[in-house]
């Protein structure tokens, strides 16, 4: 390690991190739900024209969280968060709560969270574990029909962008786990980190992706295998 400063670490995770817990990825299988492309359900337009359909999709996904548990990759990332001596940030595109349930604290949900809803009238953000209906009333302002899943839909601005951009300006080691590199702006983070001088960029995935060329290292394999192995390597070298 150079001097007194410890290298900074930024992690970007995607659906592949939670796949072995049993949370479906978007682009696996046929990418359809009840015959709809996911991209057609996860939009503000779909919520405007077919709110019942959108609620059903997110109610199903929210309920399914009760049937899944964090896996060895989530656990390894929490170990890394606790033991890494330098600055640490985990940015996840995942809307599940498996990182928190494994113990993660330095975590940003850039695409929102399934277990949260947002009132479009009073802007309250609330924890929500049951089903959401078009008639549900906001517990804060009592208005009915104004709650929506606290999910960043296609075409909407992801959360924490300023904080993420600042972290990418100074990152020394960038890890990317289980993301297809299709959804922007997250798909551009590796290139941005490299442009800011990050010299070590490691992609972990079952296979190469459309953004693989931006990385300096590849670890191909299941997240529950490659992530704990890399965490062990990083910590023993730190």
Question: Which residues in 17-76 contact ligand NAD (CB under 6 A)?
Answer: 18-20, 23, 25-27
CB nearer ligand NAD, residue 108 or residue 222 = 222
Q: Is 206 in the site for ligand NAD (CB under 6 A)?
A: yes
Return the residue of 77, 176, 223, 231 that touches ligand NAD, per CB under 6 A: 223
Considering CB under 6 A, how many residues would be counted as binding ligand NAD? Answer: 26
Cβ proximity of 220 and 229 under 8 Å = no
Q: Is 113 in the site for ligand NAD (CB under 6 A)?
A: no
Question: Does residue 74 carry a catalytic annotation?
Answer: no
Q: From residue 142 to residue 181, what is the string marking binding to ligand NAD with x (rule CB under 6 A)?
A: ------------------------------------xxx-
CB nearer ligand NAD, residue 11 or residue 15 = 15
Q: Which residues contact 156 (CB under 8 A, 6 or more apart)?
A: 44
Quote the distance between the C-alpha of residue 237 and its chain's center. Answer: 27
Q: Which residues pair with 112 in a beta bridge?
A: 151
Which member of 74, 109, 111, 214 is catalytic?
111
Return the residue of 7, 16, 70, 228 that touches ligand NAD, per CB under 6 A: 16
Q: From residue 71 to residue 110, what is the string marking binding to ligand NAD with x (rule CB under 6 A)?
A: ----------------------xxxx--------------
Q: What is Dmax (Cα atoms) for the chain?
A: 59
Which residues form the catalytic set? 111
Positions touching ligand NAD (CB under 6 A) are 14-16, 18-20, 23, 25-27, 93-96, 111, 178-180, 182-183, 205-207, 209, 222-223
């Amino acid at each position: 390690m150079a001097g007194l400063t410890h290298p900074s670490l930024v992690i970007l995770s995607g659906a592949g991190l939670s796949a072995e817990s049993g949370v479906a990825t978007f682009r696996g299988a046929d990418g359809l739900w009840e015959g709809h492309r996911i991209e057609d359900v996860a939009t503000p337009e779909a919520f405007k024209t077919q709110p019942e359909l959108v609620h059903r999709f997110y109610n199903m996904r929210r309920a399914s969280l009760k049937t899944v548990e964090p896996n060895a990759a989530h656990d390894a990332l929490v170990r890394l968060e606790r033991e890494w001596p330098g600055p640490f940030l985990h940015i996840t595109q995942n809307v599940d709560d498996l990182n928190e349930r494994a113990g993660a604290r330095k975590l940003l949900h850039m695409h929102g969270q399934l277990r949260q809803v947002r009132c479009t009238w009073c802007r309250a953000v609330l924890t929500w574990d049951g089903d959401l209906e078009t008639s549900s009333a906001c517990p804060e302002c009592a208005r009915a029909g104004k709650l929506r899943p606290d999910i960043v839909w296609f075409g909407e601005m992801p959360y924490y962008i300023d904080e993420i951009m600042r972290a990418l300006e100074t990152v020394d080691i960038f890890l990317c786990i289980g993301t297809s590199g299709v959804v922007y702006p997250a798909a551009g983070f590796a290139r941005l980190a490299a442009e800011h001088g990050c010299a070590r960029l490691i992609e972990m995935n079952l296979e190469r992706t459309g953004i693989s060329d931006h990385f300096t290292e590849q670890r191909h394999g299941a997240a529950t295998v490659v992530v704990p192995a890399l965490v062990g390597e990083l910590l023993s070298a730190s």
